[in-house]
Amino acid sequence: MDETVLIKPLQEGDDEAFKQLVDLYQDKVYNTVLGFLHSREDAEDIAQEVFIEVFNAIRKFRGEAKLSTWIYRIAVNKSLEYIRKKNRQKRFAFFANLFEVSDSNKLQITDFEHPGIQLEHKENARVLFAAIAKLPENQKIAFTLHKVEGLSYQEVCEVMKLSLSSVESLMFRAKKNLQKKLFDFYKSG
Amino acid sequence: MKSNQEDIDKKIERTLSSFDHIERASVNPFFYTRLKAKMETEKRGFWSLFTIPQFSMAVASVFLLLCLNFYVVINYEYNANSQADEVSTFISDYQINVGDIYELNE
């Protein structure tokens, strides 16, 4: 379906067009958000927030980027906002446990299992998700959009508003960082 | 030592390639219905947190509290006046409002 057809009715507040947009993008948004948040419940909440933002802001959409790019951008921003908010709460909790020694560089393996990962890779994927969570923000965005959501480098460039060489560089550094973090993890474990 | 290094390298390689055949995750069924419900709740805003009976109860409680306050203030003033009368009667009955004890003998 051509997404440009949807823009005008969406800007006029057409509910049917909004339903079509949600049908078209719900899995893409959910999968992207899940790639960042590693929690199905949080991902559903934030995916809803993304569509509410799309609904409220569609009148300001001028078509400078593709609709899909714009939606991915909102999804990434909402996910990062949520992560920052959670980290602030963790920092506050740090004061409560001031004397508790914790290593912030250590990978924190969670119970999260991405539903799209094949069974034999689930254990390794959990470790990889924990390592991705420790990457710098830009590397995390590029790696998640490319590897988890399956966007091409060109699409990642458009979402991140970066040049192709910048995205390639981000991906290279992300892989190097992941290798180092995984080496430390497997060496100590 | 070398085999240990090779073992770790293999694990890293396997871990990094664990996303190679990843499939897109799908939302739970009825996502759109839940989304619309959330949008409706947000549209109604702050006042949607209260139902009409809750709001009526809150107004009635505030009114009752104000009435009780008013009653207590009025009643306190009345009691204070009547107490003052009783004290002045007591003073005059027992003649204890005298400035000097020798005044009584005059």
**Whole-angstrom Cα distance, residue A58 to residue A70?**
10
The interface pTM score, or ipTM, of the predicted complex is 0.84
* Structural domain ending residue among the three candidates A41, A74, A99: A99
Average predicted confidence (pLDDT) for chain A: 91
**Domain membership flag for residue A104:** no
**Does B8 touch chain A if contact means CB atoms closer than 8 Å?**
yes
**Domain membership flag for residue A11:** yes
pLDDT per residue as tens digits for the range B41-97: 888 776 666 677 777 888 999 999 999 998 888 887 667 677 778 888 888 788 776
If asked whether residues A88 and A13 sit together in one domain, one would say yes
pLDDT per residue as tens digits for the range A120-151: 999 999 999 999 999 999 999 999 999 999 99
DSSP secondary structure letter of residue A13: T
Beta carbons of B16 and A178 less than 8 Å apart: yes
Structure tokens of A20?
A: 């079509």
pLDDT per residue as tens digits for the range A69-128: 999 999 999 999 999 999 888 766 666 665 555 556 678 888 889 999 999 999 999 999
Suggest the residue from A24, A79, A128, A172 to mutate for an interface test with chain B (most B CBs closer than 10 A): A128
CA B42 → CA A127, B3, B47, B74, distances in Å? 38, 59, 10, 46
Query: SS3 of B83, please?
Result: helix
**Whole-angstrom Cα distance, residue B17 to residue B35?**
35
Q: Which domain holds residue A129?
A: 112-189
Beta carbons of A117 and B19 less than 8 Å apart: yes
* Structural domain ending residue among the three candidates A99, A128, A161: A99
**Does B101 touch chain A if contact means CB atoms closer than 8 Å?**
no
Which residue of A lies nearest to B42 if distances are taken between CA atoms?
A52
Number of domains in chain A: 2
**Whole-angstrom Cα distance, residue A146 to residue A153?**
7
The CATH number given to whatever domain includes residue A117 is: 1.10.10.10
DSSP secondary structure letter of residue B28: P
Structure tokens of A155?
A: 């699409």
**Whole-angstrom Cα distance, residue B65 to residue B61?**
6
